[in-house]
A and B are shown apart, each in its own frame.
Chain A
């Protein structure tokens, strides 16, 4: 019954970590970058197209200017995204579209709404309030920091030129 072919120390991993990672990498399922990019492109583009249509609607029918229409447009997109998140649809769109649905404002809204829903069971204050910005927080932090630095650079340039 014992059909050992090689003698080895029991359980010893002869293979180095580097060698293993190299050998295992060939079993990694290939990611289709081209297909993913295409999906991100058309879904992301469609979201932007929808945004444009909403903006045109506010300008044409509600008397907004091109400048003032952007606030209600963003609010509408955020509302739609939160609604789809609540209905359990947005995560499926995200899996399909990747960056296409993550980059627009709808992705930002989804990250906040999904965290709020997730932590509802821990109460409104520490659960919803404390965790809403779990994912979006870093976007806000680095968005503000980046804006601050860009603002300083712009001021310095204006000062000297």
Chain B
């Protein structure tokens, strides 16, 4: 790439990682439904029950995050002591999955919340800490669980209410990535941190429509700040816009003069096959995390993809804000990955 200027702050929202910051290893753990999806052969650990051998769903989600991090350490051939800090987040109130898991892992923790954008929020910040020298190795991790998210944001899991076709299926899973200087794995070159965008959408069963403008804002800013364009990338993915948000984003970008047609996909559409009854597609922190930390890293490492932009999208709503009639504020964070040594 020609953009190797020795500058960290490219613009207000975009960071350039001028050191040889790499995603040295990654791992994912998922639930049964994801294990039946088209990417299953790339997942490190597939639990065949939603409880993951635990008593409660909340415990199960912690188990998933723990599995992802421990598998990651194993794959990288290091122990927890070799990691300076873990940056992690989830969807549950007070980030409980993250906090309880980090206690078990005995690593210094930066807990982060960006709803479903947490995957790239943590990865970007891990890269920034490593690039600046505050950490030699940092782990970025996040998780979501279908049943814990249903309980917190919607109805009891066994409640027989009908969902509209624009609803999405929260991915059960966790992903973790190890960020360090040098070694193997894709380079992390840029991160563009998003602004909160609220276009007045109020329907919590239509988050694709709510989040698409936030993704458009971040991707557009990324192109403007870096001088890049859709042609720079072999693949641009959003986190969980799914079947409703996907065409909206494409149209929004086209209106701004960016034709994404050839390179654009959405993790929420990639993780399940269309016959899996997931409404418009997958959602949750794990949607972008699981796809990025398995399929995308694998493709980059094998040289089948060279440049990838992952733009994780988050709907920053709470059940209280929804019931009080507020619209859904959304955010998207993008990280650019580059394959090859």
Contact = CB atoms under 8 A, between A and B. Distances in A.
The bracket for how many chain B residues form the interface is 35 or more
Contacts of B166: 28-29
Contacts of A86: 158
Contact of A121 (B56, B243, B251): B56
Contacts of B158: 85-86, 88, 90-91, 110, 113-114, 117-118
A11 B221 contact: yes
Interface string A22-53: 01100111010000000000000000000000
Contacts, number: 128
Contact of B165 (A29, A107, A111): A29
A15 B157 CA distance: 37
B200 interface: yes
Interface stretch (A57-65, A69-77, A92-100, A143-151): A92-100
* Chain B, interface SS category: loop
Given A11-B217, A121-B55, A114 B155 contact: yes
Q: Identify whether the interface residues of A are mostly helix, strand, loop, or mixed.
A: helix
A20 interface: yes
Contacts of A119: 156
Size bracket of the A interface:
35 or more
A21 interface: yes
B201 A95 contact: no
Nearest to B162: A98
A88 to B, nearest CB: 6
A21 B159 contact: no
Count chain A CB atoms within 10 A of each CB in B155, B197, B251 and give the residue with the most: B155
Nearest to A96: B162
Nearest to B224: A10
